[in-house]
Structure 1
């Protein structure tokens, strides 16, 4: 089961096969719609019923608010009245200048857990390549070699809403390690000296 509700991607299809494929360098408005981030988070007072068997007086609890989706009216969380809402579209809006002026390229964006989380990921254009390397592994008298012919490290910038109950918005650069790896298992093969990746 995937927690992805909706998402969009540019380039290679994700491993899970979900999402709407977009041509590169689409405007933020297209990403917002195709990633399923074209709704707003609304708020309402928490209300409760006093009495027996849900029959009685409806009361308000002004210190707490219910957050819910504007499109489906589904509840997202109960938060304090001081909670600052980050809208799904604001995550993408953050990337507008970065994609227009700084060479960033949106790669994925979407909604998780019914709207409780949403994210966007952009490639920064920064990368480096490591030298080929090999490493020997042993498990239960079976040895195998992992040989990396080419290793590419790409840098990405991620914007992620935290849980709907917290006011935290995370933004960070991350480096992903992409490699072309061969492996072989042979308990009788001679084991040459291991080499480590160049740092």
Structure 2
């Protein structure tokens, strides 16, 4: 029997999250094991349970981190665009680039089962998508709200990402599809 290794890691929570993110990116969330992560960061199999008592809490934390990363990319896209129509196109491109390049992480983020970390995941998602709502502020068709337009726009983008990720749509078609999708939505005056 191998003697237990003492805990000597600097920031174990962050180390486990970073390794778990790498596993999700490479192999998907279904391949995530707390025991494997503990071995990879060089601690006993019980050490990560201090921060992640079970696998679902680790998945929740990864979803929150994923939404923070996505939100940062969406804010950058909005901030980098000078006018509303460019902003809508830019945010669509940023979303699709994330959802396609981070397909396994995005799948985990949207497959959340509302466990103990459900509130944190929901708050993370709401914060990530706030730039979408801001982009659609302004002149909208009667009966529309920025929240509703943003939700429909997000659903359109999520659908496109899913079609690309499963191989129905080729990646080189994404630019043209973004242009067509953007043309179907009101541009508003969206504040950056």
Higher helix share: 2
- Do they fold alike, i.e. is TM over 0.5? no
Q: RCO (CA 8 Å, sep 6+): is it higher in 1 or 2?
A: 2
Task: Give the alignment's TM-score, normalised by structure 1.
Answer: 0.24
Higher strand share: 1
Larger Rg: 1
Task: Give the alignment's TM-score, normalised by structure 2.
Answer: 0.25
